[in-house]
Structure 1
Amino acid sequence: MNNPAPFCTVVPPHILDRLAQHEDPTVYGPARRTLEHDAQLRTQRRITAVRGAAAPTGTPSDQPDRTIYDAGHRETLPGTKVHSESDRPTGDASVNRAHAGLGATFELYLKAYGRHSIDDSGMPLIGTVHYGEQYDNAFWNGEQMVFGDGDGELFLDFTLPVDVIGHELTHGVTQFTANLDYFGQSGALNESVSDVFGSLIKQYALGQSAAQADWLIGAGLLGPGIHGDALRSMKAPGTAYDDPQLGKDPQPAAMDGYVRTSRDNGGVHINSGIPNYAFYLVATALGGNAWERAGRIWYATLTGGELGASAQFADFARLTAATARTLFGEGDEISAVLKAWSQVGVPAT
């Protein structure tokens, strides 16, 4: 696993591309700056020799080690250190939310799956807030979390949704496990796994069952004038937003709507709706807490060592079915997995 870790953002390029074409400079300005920034960092990630998954060297602990920095609206990382693990809450809500979100992610992985931080070896969790000027994104750069404040109109502060924090940190978990290639179906699986565990982190933090969860990614992130609920919906892909400025959510829920495109690394943020919906179907069919059975199947598949970096949807589906059988035998779990993949048009046998 010596590929550079991908530069992963939570707001997909197709949304920013549309905003960048707007006639209003208050709309296109932040979008263009965000797109230019993200394109530059993606290029830097490709040409550097940074390893995608260096061997973990830390000491596993049941306690997180969190540090929050303030970029001061500049684009230099990590910024000024403003909060350590043992510090009391500050007067900066973004700092406090970032600290809490890193902790919620650590907690889910530890308590549900026995994983000690992102690399399973006690990796310190670093976050930087107030990054850039009206920066409309949050990202994992292979080493830390970074949060923009948003522009205040289309997007609000990116520390607001805990599932966005969990989503981005899960890119780190993937980086240290299957290291799924960030292109085409393997890239869409990479994005989907982050949505799955981002949602589970929110559900765990709120004590929600699968039936109680909203299954939205980024709820509370869109500005008050936007016609939409979130960035993505796992329950109903393609329905998260329908707005004159953002456009309409393009995610398909099944293979008959699979989008073939050269943009966004082969549509990784679009086609992730298909495995997202499959997970939702499994989780709601089994009921109860989604992290306990459906989540265990997905986590064991991701970390079990059999999932190849270039895995396609069908590869992932077959492995989740095999994992369900190994973990739970011939019961409701394997039936739910097989039925879900069939519903989205992906062969699992």
Structure 2
Amino acid sequence: MSYPNKTDFSNPSTFILLGIPGLEVAHVWISIPYCTVYAIALLGNFTILFIVKTEQSLHEPMYYFLCILAVTDLVLATSILPKTLSIFWFNSREIGFSACLAQLYFVHSLSVIESGICVAMAFDRYVAICDPLRHSSLLTNSIIAKIGLAVVLRGVMLILPYPLLARQWPYCRTNIIPSTHCEHITVVKLACADIRISSYYGLFVLFFVTGVDLFLIAVSYTQILRAIFKLPTKDARLKTFGTCSSHLCVILSFHIPGLFSFLTQRFGHNVPLQVHILMANVYLLVPPMLNPIIYGVRTKQIRDSLVRHFTPRKN
């Protein structure tokens, strides 16, 4: 099926997602790792939710935040994968204008929420290591619920202008999006209007969220490292730092590809389009797969719970 490059409309009823331009013949093969990543993400995050719910010893702040992270990852991956696979398998490239705006809203708001959860988990590690006697009194269930609500509301409110502004622009050039899903900058670039408000606001959100969150995480870990180096023995230092290693891996797996994806979209004009698209997919799909694996492998309490639940009991 072919699609015209030009059209005469001011408010499109649909957009056309091309998938990965230039790699159309390999779409079916590319779908295999996509399916694998998605299946592992579903299995891993649902397993984390099940283990934390059923294991009373895991009803602690770190694991509550991990559950919020798991739900966020599940919704984030599901917001793009079904449509991406329908493009790869069935060449189903059309997406409604409102559905496209909804997809870009979920992609960006959930990314902001995930970044906020990383900050909340860093704060939990800071209190647990630097002020352990007050950990249970500071991070009560009500405080955790308020932190979680604040993180969600921040993502919801900060990203709300994205689709509201995008809906206002006239689209009279093309309705073809060279990507597997709708993202803010790829959509507004199609408008035949001055989109500087959308562009500047998008940059503000990127640098505000990333800058503030990474600064707070850096402050937390500076204090954590100071506390760790004051411990009397090397074994105590390694054991204490081990409680933070999973969280650090999650931060790196989320922020590094995310920053690379956003910055190459804005400024990487010489980067091939296929690299842009693949990095955007890596940023959205790999962390939901890796996060439960990281915590499952590196957290002893979760490993022990998995063994108890899934190892046959001897009579």
Please give the TM-score of this superposition, normalised by the length of structure 2: 0.29
Higher relative contact order (CA 8 A, sep 6+): 2
Instruction: From the two aligned structures, give the one with the greater helix fraction.
Output: 2
Answer with 1 or 2: which has the greater Rg: 2
